[in-house]
Chain A
């Protein structure tokens, strides 16, 4: 792999069916992955987030934690967006939050994370849109591709809810449309 093909961060967006899909990917990631993995998974409002972290941690070989504002998106860690807030990445690689209006009816929105991460990591960003029953993530994936990042979309045939992958493909296209196993493999291959 040339250094040009090397990813510096991974962002993942999912909604309906996302818990299962995310667990499948996390279970297959290399335990020595040296980039941050940042995920938005839509869920209920006042849940304080610990449940999702615990559930995913059971499947992941990498540590899973809720993204904390002002902290570095540290490599080798799975960072989850807290519920009720948009999660953004700043140019210094740190997290910030916002309670700005919902985007595509959701907060956190995949679009917001992807767009801000694309600004920071540009061609180093690897983004994946997984199962979901809305079209959040489509604009975000477009921003990722415009900045030269690498875009993966879960095969709509395999997705529990195909709408989100389909919307992403329609708006942004993708470098590959593949299974969850394929997404995990691609992350393992493209990341240091």
Chain B
């Protein structure tokens, strides 16, 4: 075995320092993508190495929020992969419609792109009124932006096209007002949404959900952490509840996957327990 690379050693020490000093546990994050993120935080903080960043992080508490924000990378889009949202509406909404009250949890909501996607689809299906939606993330600055519902106007065209491809019934522009370089989503869309800080690594069950949406979050986790969070989702879902993951996620190495059945493999929609008779 070759000796470990200095950068890799520094990465492990950074993870350890973040945990010891600040209580954030990133030990279950896959290292290749984590390394890129830590390196880019280091660069943005004028540090030449991860080691330099670690030294500052230990002594300067004020740096923590920007480091957490930098490690979170809340990149998202409205209606990304339109066909999977179409599948959600076609295959899951009819069952949700049979409940008098619907609880939905989106874990890792980034700046809110997908929670508003879901809110719009629920509105158009006539289900919004009875839905309680929880949008959570561990990045407070992303949550604050999500709550505002303001997005760069540059995205408008792609998102509008994707909205239609997802089966949207009107025009996405019906849901926003353009203000300068920004789009402000209709306030009404958030009346049933609760935004809250929740860390999938550290926090537990807080609701009984009929649907959990968690796209492209577990891809950053090692197998053990992915499985643990899958267990958290199981414990948070009602029997027969739905789980939707990102397009290219794989549960092949997660023992807890055995408790879910695949409803739509391509759209990564799963259901807790065996299909109802």
Contact = CB atoms under 8 A, between A and B. Distances in A.
Sorting the interface of chain A by its residue count into under 10, 10 to 19, 20 to 34 or 35 or more gives 20 to 34
Interface string A73-101: 00000000010111011110000111111
B57 interface: no
Contacts of A97: 219, 248
Contacts of B219: 69, 85, 96-99
A70 B220 contact: no
A189 interface: no
Interface in A99-134: 99-101, 112, 115-116, 119, 122
Contacts of B82: 46
B33 A70 contact: no
Contacts of A91: 8, 31-32
A37 to B, nearest CB: 19
Contacts of A89: 32
Contact of A70 (B35, B76, B223): B223
Interface stretch (B59-67, B134-142, B249-257): B249-257
A69 B33 contact: no
Nearest to B2: A122
B49 interface: no
B229 interface: no
B81 interface: yes
Given A98-B220, A100-B73, A122-B2, A71 B32 contact: no
B2 A100 contact: no
Nearest 5 A/B pairs, CB to CB: A88-B32, A98-B33, A116-B32, A99-B216, A96-B30
Given A46-B83, A96-B220, A119-B35, 13 more contacts: A68-B248, A69-B250, A70-B253, A82-B248, A85-B248, A91-B32, A98-B33, A99-B76, A99-B246, A100-B73, A101-B73, A116-B32, A119-B32
